[in-house]
């Protein structure tokens, strides 16, 4: 059984369920899976952008950041 066949079977079975609380539980599971996948994609995208910044030397040293913070504290 391939993924498409499994999806179709699940859709047919879900269409037969009348229990609202069970359907809400399924919805929560599905939304959680989607959010997790989106977070993973976003995380990977941010890693790639950070690597590009490093390659382009668009970085700030730790000491420079500490100095900036100290300047802000004086204001």
Range of the domain at 27: 20-74
Per the structure, how many domains does the chain have? 1
Task: Tell me if 7 is assigned to some domain.
Answer: no
pLDDT in tens, 64-73: 999 999 999 9
Task: Tell me if 2 is assigned to some domain.
Answer: no
Across residues 11-26, what is the average pLDDT?
Answer: 96
The per-residue pLDDT for 37 is: 84
Enumerate residues 6+ apart whose C-beta is below 8 A from 1: 9
Task: Tell me if 42 is assigned to some domain.
Answer: yes
Is the pTM higher than 0.85? The answer reads no
pLDDT in tens, 19-62: 999 999 999 999 999 888 888 889 999 999 999 999 999 999 99
Between these two residues, 18 and 1, which has the higher pLDDT value? 18
Task: Tell me if 38 is assigned to some domain.
Answer: yes
Task: Tell me if 14 is assigned to some domain.
Answer: no
Transcribe 25-47 into DSSP letters.
HHHHHHHHHHHHHHHHHHHHHHH
């Amino acid at each position: 059984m391939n993924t498409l066949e499994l999806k179709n079977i699940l859709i047919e079975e879900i269409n037969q369920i009348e229990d609202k609380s069970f359907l809400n539980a399924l919805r929560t599971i599905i939304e959680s899976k989607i959010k997790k996948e989106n977070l993973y994609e976003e995380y990977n995208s941010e890693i790639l952008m950070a690597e590009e910044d490093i390659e382009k030397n668009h970085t700030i040293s730790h000491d420079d950041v500490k100095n900036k913070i100290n300047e802000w504290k004086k204001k």
